[in-house]
Homo-oligomer: A and B are copies of this chain.
Amino acid sequence: MTVAGSDPVSFEELQLAARNHGLPLEALRWPLTPVGLHYLLIHYDIPMVDAAGWRLEVGGRVAAPLSLSLDELRRRPVVSLPVTFECAGNGRALLSPRPRSQPWLVEAVGTAEWTGTPLRSLLAEAGVNADGVVEVLFTGSDRGVEGGVQQRYERSLPLAEALAEDVLLAWAVNGQPLPPQHGAPLRLVVPGWYGMTNVKWLERITVLDEPFAGYQQAEAYRLLDGQGPDGPVTRMRPRALLVPPGIPDFYTRRRLLGPGPCRLEGRAWSGSGQVTAVEVSDDDGRSWAGASLGEPVGRWAWRPWALDWSPPGPGEYVLCCRATDATGERQPSGPVWNRKGYANNAVHRVPVTVTAS
């Protein structure tokens, strides 16, 4: 497995990797990812928002625009929901040639319990005029330049998706007020979709009668030049990850495992339906065995899987895992390249050295 060589990592990619971070894979052991271990992708700078003066504006094609303080939002119906988030760019650094952006390997994921109020009741309160309305736009307060365009981070959802039952405006995570890096004081949570959908530092919701054509919708987050269909990045593809067994070497992260039976375990998720099967291989994908599945952490959250493994003997192994979801979609054995490096859900491979004693 190589990243350098003919395609060296740039200073820019290293800067992004030093700021943002993935889930250390051993933290897959926690059903809800502790704050600070959940993956983070911050497009621009984390804004310092004064929650006391902050208001959420709801406008556009609505009968009655709203302007709400955090306290006013918190007096509305409250829902808590465990949701798995995954960055759309997860797996990018395993593509070749490697698209230039945040160089994720496989760990841009996390599951948290988000607490907030349903978006659809707020939209009902504002009175969405169904005639001609097609999308709902979410604008954050984070600002920057991308693709030469000065912008606030903003993304839209088709109206039907915005009105789905479990879409939340969240002010708490794992029972704590949102920390700055997760979008304080308020963020969007759209279960099942890749992470770019969950707009942080939300300050405005605009109901639109034409599709939003801003940078993050029309330029970024498109599947381009791939072998799959072109189009927008939407729901998370199925993926299983393995807690690397044994102990690591510091620099190489190579795993060292003693002889004898070993429980392999991990988590699996999909944005399009429940994970229905996880399979494990100890020979780099030549043969597969079915793992047992535990109860999902929530209907929009990963589920645990496990398999007892007896290494045939000392030596080198490449452990793999792959998930299949209720739609029948199974992870591919290798990456499906696309120009911007999205949605690479190739099987997770973990090289392991089994020792003699």
Name A residues whose Cβ lies closer than 8 Å to a Cβ of B.
1-5, 8-22, 24, 26-27, 29-30, 34-38, 40, 42-46, 48, 93, 100-101, 103-105, 107, 143-146, 150, 179-182, 244, 247-253, 256
Q: Which residue of the partner chain B has the closest CB to A35?
A: B36
- Interface contact A251-B14, CB-CB below 8 Å: no
Other A-B contacts than A36-B38, A145-B256, 16 sampled, CB-CB below 8 A, are A1-B11, A9-B9, A14-B103, A15-B253, A18-B105, A18-B107, A24-B42, A24-B181, A26-B46, A30-B48, A37-B180, A43-B250, A45-B244, A143-B247, A144-B247, A144-B250
Chain B neighbourhood of A3, CB < 8 A = 9-11, 14
- Interface contact A24-B46, CB-CB below 8 Å: yes
- Interface contact B4-A5, CB-CB below 8 Å: no
In-complex Cβ contact of A104 among B18, B22, B40, B103 (8 A): B18
What distance in Å separates the Cβ of A256 from its nearest Cβ neighbour in chain B? 6
- Interface contact B181-A34, CB-CB below 8 Å: yes
- Interface contact B21-A247, CB-CB below 8 Å: no
Q: How many copies does the complex hold?
A: 2
Given known contacts A9-B8, A9-B9, is B249 in contact with A15 (CB within 8 Å)?
no
Q: Which 4 A-B pairs have the closest CB atoms?
A: A21-B21, A8-B8, A9-B9, A17-B17
In-complex Cβ contact of A247 among B44, B180, B250 (8 A): B44
Given known contacts A250-B144, A251-B12, is B18 in contact with A180 (CB within 8 Å)?
no
In-complex Cβ contact of A144 among B9, B144, B150, B248 (8 A): B248
Chain B neighbourhood of A8, CB < 8 A = 4-5, 8-9
In-complex Cβ contact of A36 among B1, B10, B179, B251 (8 A): B179
- Interface contact A14-B24, CB-CB below 8 Å: no
- Interface contact A105-B42, CB-CB below 8 Å: no
- Interface contact A249-B145, CB-CB below 8 Å: yes
CA gap between A5 and B100 in the complex, in Å: 15
CA gap between A160 and B290 in the complex, in Å: 57
Given known contacts A4-B9, A8-B8, A34-B180, is B251 in contact with A101 (CB within 8 Å)?
yes
CA gap between A8 and B8 in the complex, in Å: 5
What distance in Å separates the Cβ of A318 from its nearest Cβ neighbour in chain B? 15
Chain B neighbourhood of A44, CB < 8 A = 247-248, 250
CA gap between A249 and B35 in the complex, in Å: 27
Q: Which of A21, A30, A179 has the most CB of B within 10 A?
A: A21
Chain B neighbourhood of A26, CB < 8 A = 45-46, 48
CA gap between A42 and B35 in the complex, in Å: 16
16 contacts between A and B (CB under 8 A): A3-B9, A8-B9, A14-B17, A14-B105, A16-B251, A17-B18, A24-B45, A24-B46, A26-B48, A30-B180, A35-B36, A35-B179, A36-B40, A44-B250, A45-B244, A150-B247
- Interface contact B100-A251, CB-CB below 8 Å: yes
Chain B neighbourhood of A17, CB < 8 A = 14, 17-18
CA gap between A100 and B44 in the complex, in Å: 29
Chain B neighbourhood of A248, CB < 8 A = 44-45, 144-145
Chain B neighbourhood of A48, CB < 8 A = 26, 29-30
- Interface contact B100-A18, CB-CB below 8 Å: no
Chain B neighbourhood of A93, CB < 8 A = 14, 18
Chain B neighbourhood of A12, CB < 8 A = 251-253
Chain B neighbourhood of A20, CB < 8 A = 21
